[in-house]
Chain A
Amino acid sequence: MSTRQMLVKGIVEVMRTVATRLPIDVYDALVEAREREENTVARRQLDAIIRNADLAATRSRPICQDTGMVYFFTKVGKDFPFLMDLRNVLVEATRESTFEIPLRPNAVDPVHERNSGDNTGRFMPWIDMELVKGDRMELTVLFKGGGSEYPSTLRMIPPIQGLRGVKRVVIDAMYNAGAMPCPPVIVGVGLAGGSDIAMKLAKRALLRSIGVRHPDEMVAKLEEEIMELVNRLEIGPHGFGGPTTALDVKVEYGHRHPASYAVGVTTNCWAVRRGMAEFRPDGSYTVLSRHIEGGE
């Protein structure tokens, strides 16, 4: 097997882990939520969610039938041998994963309304690339489901509103979302000057593990305050009420323009499909994220 083939195969294996095994931080947060849940119907939802996660891991099956849109966030060393070929490598790995794992083909041409059949197409998979020193590649995979993309919101607020305005945008988005994004969710919030930057940061915010706060103290406090508000809405697991609407809230920010204040909000359903691995120049890799093992 060539080094390139090994690399593609390695990425497919990482994608399989991501599609079939919940990250441990998410699983633990769900179990904790079930323990404090007093409402019977909501508890039944959490029971089903946890049982489903166990079954998926044990049988190596996708946790959810909506295996999402494929996002790759890469930090590529400038001396990584496949740097110039990386787009092709990631497209091939996506195609192979679609047939092997399998994933549901989710790439639809919005003009001609045809499904490409293999999760690839224009700007699909979406690849976010950052060039770094060294000869390795850090690859984060996110499968983003359609239901939890539905309530995504962008608002340009009057800068004078500041963080009050930010909070309002988030609670409005969550109120409007209701049960649609498959709560309990993780809420990603991006603050910036440009509309596109805010949305991008909101998505990137979803990559941080549950319980890990932003290093800036004020942002960390903002995350906790937003979380308290969101959970007071009592949407609960699949909209059946109770104290757990958000498992966590993550905020990322970039400097804004004096006159513009963009607030981006997106959510990740409880079925968080994210994982990270480091690939070496010889095509070998190490999975850096931790996932559940399964077992009934």
Chain B
Amino acid sequence: MAEYKITLPVDEEKIRELKVGDILYVTGTIVTARDEAHKKVLEAIESGETLPVGLEGLALYHCGPVVQKKEGEWVVIAAGPTTSTRMEDVEAEFIEKTHVRIVIGKGGMGRKTAEAARKYGAVYTVFTGGAAVLAADAVKRVAGVYWLDELGIPEAMWVFDVENFGPLVVTIDTTGKNFYAEAAERRKKVLEGMYRELGF
């Protein structure tokens, strides 16, 4: 287990050095997207439109923040991660088409995402779920927001300039290793033992 400070955008080579269990703090641009914004980005790419922000080398954050407009500027009040599995169906394609290098969320992701991470050079990391004020503290500026009217605050795509955003624990690395999937495998044995204890 190692700790890294990473500046975004980051290149593939650096990402391929990271291992499951490593802890990251990132500085630079991160972009939020939940279910709806994922769909939007993929639709835009499909129809050949230019994305409002180039995502190559950046971090994608599964987050629907609480924000407030003060004197014409957006202020981030709370911005912890949302449950990542909801994006499992589309994440592999998202990684392939946008070349984001770090995905930040909570709760883990599945086989398809792990495969895309291996193939295209990306990691999936976990930010402490619910630690929304800690996260908001690391956001220094809202650099932009897209699809706000159409999608509403939580689902819109927010662009944050962050400083030492973390701790992010790597749970999927570029070797195909998936911490949560392996932990679930081990846990399955414990569960089966419990079934026997209960007479099932």
Contact = CB atoms under 8 A, between A and B. Distances in A.
Interface residues of B, number: 47
Nearest to B76: A65
A195 B198 CA distance: 24
A72 to B, nearest CB: 21
Contacts of A240: 169
Interface stretch (B52-60, B96-104, B179-187): B179-187
A61 B78 contact: yes
B133 A61 contact: yes
A269 B68 CA distance: 25
B155 to A, nearest CB: 8
The A contact surface, by secondary structure, is loop
Contacts of B80: 64-66
Interface string A225-241: 00001001111001111
Given A106-B154, A233-B187, A234-B187, A44 B167 contact: yes
Contact of B134 (A51, A108, A180, A233): A51
B7 interface: no
B63 A238 contact: no
Interface of B: 1, 21, 23, 63-66, 68, 77-80, 82-83, 85, 106-108, 126, 128-137, 152-155, 167, 169, 180, 183-184, 187-188, 190-191, 194-195, 198-200
A64 B107 contact: no
A146 B83 contact: yes
Given A65-B79, A104-B64, A168 B200 contact: yes
A106 B82 CA distance: 13
Contact of A147 (B129, B131, B155, B191): B129
Contact of A65 (B65, B169, B188): B65
A105 interface: yes
A284 interface: no
A182 interface: yes
A61 B187 CA distance: 36
B187 A235 contact: yes
